[in-house]
Structure 1
Amino acid sequence: MQEFTVIFQPGTIKIRAAAETTIMKAMNQAGLGTDFPCGGRGKCGKCRVKVLEGVSDPIATEQAHLTRQELEEGIRLACATKIYRDMVIEILSPGHLQHNILINSAERPFYIQAHLKKLFIETSQPSLSEHKSDWQRLKEALAARGFNDNTLQAPLSLLRRLPETIRQSQNRLTAVLLDSKVLGIEQGDTSAVMLGMAFDIGTTTIVGYLLDLNSGKELAVVSTLNPQAQYGGDVISRITFAGNAEGLDLLHKAVTDAVNKLIGEAVGKAGRKRKDIYAVSVAANTTMHHLFLGISPQSIGVSPYVSVVNQGLVVTASELRLDINEAGQVFVLPNIAGFVGADTSAVLLATELEKSEHVTLILDIGTNGEIVLGSKHKTVACSAAAGPAFEGAQITNGMRGAIGAIDHISFADRLEFTVIGGGNPAGICGSALLDGVAGLVELRMINKRGKFLEPDKITHPQSLRFKDRLIQYEGAWAFLLADSGETLHGRPIMITQNDIRELQLAKGAIAAGVRVLLKTSGLEVEDVKEVLLAGAFGNYLNPHSACVIGLIPRELEDKIRMIGNAAGTGAKIALLSAGEFSQADDIASAVSFVELGSYSKFNTIFAENTYFKLD
């Protein structure tokens, strides 16, 4: 097959790509790790690149997403343009920029109860008078420490290295055990060295915490974007991509490689070694959970949307190709349902909702919103397909919460906004879209259906100073945030009529989910005593804006509390305490899942909640 040379800038990354390969595939081949929010289906128009040499005529998809001037300048969509000649390409997509990744979370007290035990022992000397095997003498040494030597087991790999280890250590060694299984043997006394890593694997980001399993001390925190984003920005895109063995393996390898890389970064920060890590815990939504384990998520994507496994799992690190101690084990928290995963179980473990006397509402808002309502008496949960609005995909100038994104907007005497990292903006992320639309609602510049008022119909005194920002865009009104001279890329940044519609669909889904859970539980809004916002988007949004647009009932604004990366907290607790990890299964199984699609009045409730309240 014919190949061509492709050079990517900034920098000079050169690869050879097969003819008819898309630029997107060439970027993945080059390891650029760029974000493709719609999975390369040509729906979002976010994967803009500039072809400096070797540009070809645009196809219909590119003509639909790009302006005539952009096309004339050689701007193309990486997912659409194919390689037919040598090319030089400039990367324009903000996907490669540094993202804000939430790593902090509230902590709670618990007892440390290590999953694995390390015991320093001395085996007896072999002799001609007693022909005891190496394994028998090891079992007897452990029996002296309280273990039943009749139940002890060891893998073949350990027995293979036992004679060398026991003799080189002169019968003084450390055994690594999980219940009655001897997983490892080490020369000398290494019982004081036992580290673990807790991971929160999200659709967009991965956060890892390096912990001392004996003391519980946090030694390092590391994070990265989930490299699976190059195959799709949301779980549905990835489920589709994993439809065959090759796609599943690519997604599995992408996430395990990322975890291995983070492990290396963490031990490097702490001045430790990979072999010091004996346990890993994982909290993830159901799709990420399956992909991490190499399990096909296809059953999650089709009705009735069931997972392959819900219970907590213990797997060997070697089976997942994790580069830690050879005795290492991976503790995967339980899922609740197809679209309410182990990350929600981790949040519940962290917040101890099952012990609460008062009713609490927990929201983890993203492309897929998980909602939990309950107390010690009853807990219900649902998943609301919020769509891409909160993550920036399919928003005209949308982007994730990366350097260059407008993240908050305020309307006072004049329009003001803040940009992540400072400087000129490159786009708008979900929290800013929320602020912007909330401001338009309060200024009465849009009606209850979300439609812009004509400039001559705007009469609200405070809104008059902003009506000059109403501009025409693709035959409809839009609100200008920054003109072309104020932006990083020279294109105006605005909130369009379509953006408002996307936000209405997203907030309508979340709000309807809350209403359905209230009705299912026989509760009213006033019965809710506390609202906990978990996850990145929930902790960056302005609670007032969320209440103004109706994402969260207005009556609850004073009851909102941010709890940071609660899934990360749950993962840490599950790593440090075997009892808490076991408890997570009980917590998850006690949650009643409500399938919104089968709720008889859901469509009506959803439609009602897409409207804005202007009172």
Structure 2
Amino acid sequence: MKDFRIIFQPGALRQQAAAGTSIMEAMSQAGLESDFPCGGMGKCGKCRVKVIEGLAKPTSAEQSRLTRQELEDGIRLACMTEIQEDMVVEILNPKQLKHNILMNSVDRPFSVQPHLRKFFAEVSQPTLSEHKSDWQRLRESLAAQGDMNNLKAPLSTLRRLPDMLREANNKLTTVVYDSEVLGLEPGNTTETMLGMAFDIGTTTIVGYLMDLNSGKELEVVSTLNPQAQYGGDVISRITYAGKQENGLASLHKAVTDAINKLIGEAAGRAGTSRTNIYGISIAANTTMHHLFLGINPRSIGVSPYVSAVNQGLVVDPSELGLEINGAGQVFVLPNIAGFVGADTTAVLLATEPDRREDVTLILDIGTNGEIVLGSSKKMVACSAAAGPAFEGAQITNGMRGAVGAIDHIKFGDNLEFTVIGGGSPAGICGSALLDGVAGLVELGMLNKRGKFLMPDQLTNPESLRFKDRLIEYEGTWAFLLADAGETLHGRPIMITQNDIRELQLAKGAIAAGVRILMESSGIQPEDIKEVLLAGAFGNYLNPHSACVIGLIPRELETKIRMIGNGAGTGAKIALLSAGEFSRAGDIAAAVSFIELGSYSRFNIIFAENTYFKLD
């Protein structure tokens, strides 16, 4: 099969691609981070590129998603356009490839208790009078340092011991995990012991480089999850893993390659080597957990939505293709249920509702919203299928929280908004959609069903100043945020009637989950002491907007606290403390899971919560 040359502009990045490869696939091969919310199905129209040379005839998907002028200007969808000759492709608005990835997190006190330990040993010389083996003399030297009489060693360690012992002049460091000597190092290396904690999300991956001796955070690195090229949500990735040839292997390799890259980046920044990394902890939702481990997640996607494994795992890094010290171990936090994963367990480990007498409500809001309600007496959890609206997908001008996205909107004397990175806007992300719709509700420009009132129906005097922003779009009304002359791409940015409907479905799912957990536990809003919002969307949303639209009960607005990347905090704690990692298993086992679809009143509660409450 013939290969063709692709040049990506700006930057003149060159990439070879086989005939029939899509521009999207070539971008991935070239290491260009991009966003394909619909998983490359041609449905969202968000992956616009400009083909400068090698322009192909537009596909039917492109003809339906792009205007005639865009097609004439060489605009194509990267996921739909196949490479059949040498091409020059311009990445439109390359700043948008830079996403805002939440890396900050809360901290809580705990004791550092390393999983792996290092012991320096000065091993006695062999003599003719005492025929002790190398391994026996090493064990005796280590036993003198504490209770290590039952040490074992795998064959790989015993094979290395004779040469290592003599080359190191009988002075070496052992790496011990669970009474087993997994590594040998010449000299005294006990001061060097690093690890990395990872939060593997559907959209992003964040890694924290930690000193396992001191507990100090050394570096934080992040990237978009490259599995996005196979689908923007967990269901599409489950489908890809199950139905595409080598689908599971491709998804597994994508995430492990990304983690290896982040390990190298973090080590480079810290001026160290990846061979100094001995431990990795993993917090991930259940689907990402399975794909990371190379376990087919097909059972999660069909009723009764069970995972292959929930328990915490300790895995040899070589089994996963992770490039760290050969004596290292990978500590995978436990899942709770099919759609409430180890990332939620990590959040609970970080926030400790199981040790609080007062009731706490914890929400991690995204495409799949995980909700936990409880205290030391009882914890219940559910998963709410909110859909992609909060992340900008299936929204007319939606995009993720990247440079160029409108992230917050304010209705004052005039309409004001802020743009991530500054400059002209390119789209609207979930937090801004929340602000926009909340403002329209407060201004009385929407009825309780979320339908726009016509301009002559507006009665609130404050709404009249925004009357001219109501425009017709595809046979119905929309609210104009920025006209074509104000935007980065020359197309207007608006909130459409369909966007509002998508938000209603998303917020209805989350709100129904909250209400069902409260109802099943006999808890009223006034019983809840604190509301903790975890994750990227929860960190960037305006709590007032969330309460206005009914995403969170209005009575709880003053009790809301953002905790940043709670899953990242939990992953760090589990990495630094063997006791806390063990406790994570106890926490996961203590949570009762409620399947919302099987709750008798779910449909009624969901429908009620899609409406807006008007004052």
1:140 CA drift (Å): 2.0
SS of the aligned residue for 1:185 comes to: strand
Amino acid at match of 1:233: G
Contact 1:47 1:93 (8 Å CA) reproduced: no
1:457 CA drift (Å): 0.9
1:129 CA drift (Å): 2.4
Separation in 2 of the partners of 1:186 and 1:611?
Answer: 64
Contact 1:48 1:93 (8 Å CA) reproduced: no
Aligned length: 614
Amino acid at match of 2:555: E
Q: 1:38 matched to which residue of 2?
A: 38
Q: 1:140 matched to which residue of 2?
A: 140
Separation in 2 of the partners of 1:202 and 1:465?
Answer: 41
SS of the aligned residue for 1:183 comes to: strand
1:237 CA drift (Å): 1.7
Contact 1:33 1:230 (8 Å CA) reproduced: no
Q: 2:194 matched to which residue of 1?
A: 195
Q: 1:589 matched to which residue of 2?
A: 589
When structure 1 is superposed on structure 2, of 90-99 and 402-411 the one drifting more is 90-99
* Structure 1 unaligned residues grouped into runs of 5+: none
Contact 1:94 1:399 (8 Å CA) reproduced: no
SS of the aligned residue for 1:102 comes to: coil
Alignment of 1:441-460 (within 5 A): 441-460=441-460
Amino acid at match of 1:557: E
Contact 1:318 1:328 (8 Å CA) reproduced: no
After superposition, give the CA deviation of every residue in 1:553-574 in whole Å (9 maximum; x if it has no partner): 0010011011111111111111
Separation in 2 of the partners of 1:608 and 1:451?
Answer: 15
Matched, 1:181 2:180: yes
Alignment of 1:175-324 (within 5 A): 175-243=174-242, 244=244, 246-324=246-324
Separation in 2 of the partners of 1:94 and 1:401?
Answer: 14
Alignment of 1:329-368 (within 5 A): 329-368=329-368
Contact 2:95 2:404 (8 Å CA) reproduced: no
Q: 1:530 matched to which residue of 2?
A: 530
1:318 CA drift (Å): 2.1
Matched, 1:557 2:548: no
After superposition, give the CA deviation of every residue in 1:317-375 in whole Å (9 maximum; x if it has no partner): 22222222111111111100111111100000000110110111000001110000000
Separation in 2 of the partners of 1:32 and 1:498?
Answer: 31
Q: 2:161 matched to which residue of 1?
A: 162
Separation in 1 of the partners of 2:262 and 2:17?
Answer: 29
Separation in 2 of the partners of 1:48 and 1:537?
Answer: 25
Contact 1:449 1:611 (8 Å CA) reproduced: yes
1:94 CA drift (Å): 6.1
SS of the aligned residue for 1:300 comes to: helix
Separation in 1 of the partners of 2:304 and 2:339?
Answer: 11
After superposition, give the CA deviation of every residue in 1:228-271 in whole Å (9 maximum; x if it has no partner): 22222211121122124622222212211211221222222222
1:186 CA drift (Å): 1.1
Amino acid at match of 2:361: L
SS of the aligned residue for 2:90 comes to: strand
Alignment of 1:530-549 (within 5 A): 530-549=530-549
When structure 1 is superposed on structure 2, of 317-326 and 585-594 the one drifting more is 317-326
Q: 1:520 matched to which residue of 2?
A: 520
SS of the aligned residue for 1:242 comes to: helix
SS of the aligned residue for 2:583 comes to: helix
Q: 2:480 matched to which residue of 1?
A: 480
Separation in 2 of the partners of 1:163 and 1:389?
Answer: 61
Q: 2:574 matched to which residue of 1?
A: 574
Amino acid at match of 1:327: A
Identity %: 78
1:193 CA drift (Å): 1.4
TM-score, reference length from structure 1: 0.97
Q: 1:602 matched to which residue of 2?
A: 602
Separation in 1 of the partners of 2:118 and 2:185?
Answer: 10
CA RMSD of aligned residues (A): 1.5
Separation in 2 of the partners of 1:443 and 1:41?
Answer: 37
After superposition, give the CA deviation of every residue in 1:181-238 in whole Å (9 maximum; x if it has no partner): 1111111111121111111111111111111111111111111211222222211121
Separation in 1 of the partners of 2:188 and 2:129?
Answer: 29
SS of the aligned residue for 2:33 comes to: coil
Contact 2:238 2:298 (8 Å CA) reproduced: yes
Amino acid at match of 2:405: A
Separation in 1 of the partners of 2:245 and 2:569?
Answer: 33
1:516 CA drift (Å): 0.8
Q: 1:79 matched to which residue of 2?
A: 79
Separation in 2 of the partners of 1:18 and 1:221?
Answer: 36
Separation in 2 of the partners of 1:393 and 1:6?
Answer: 28
SS of the aligned residue for 2:246 comes to: helix
Aligned pair in 2 of structure 1 residues 317, 128: CA closer, same or farther (>3 Å)?
Answer: same
Separation in 2 of the partners of 1:29 and 1:273?
Answer: 26
Aligned pair in 2 of structure 1 residues 291, 427: CA closer, same or farther (>3 Å)?
Answer: same
1:146 CA drift (Å): 3.0
When structure 1 is superposed on structure 2, of 185-194 and 331-340 the one drifting more is 185-194
Separation in 2 of the partners of 1:142 and 1:14?
Answer: 55
1:408 CA drift (Å): 0.2
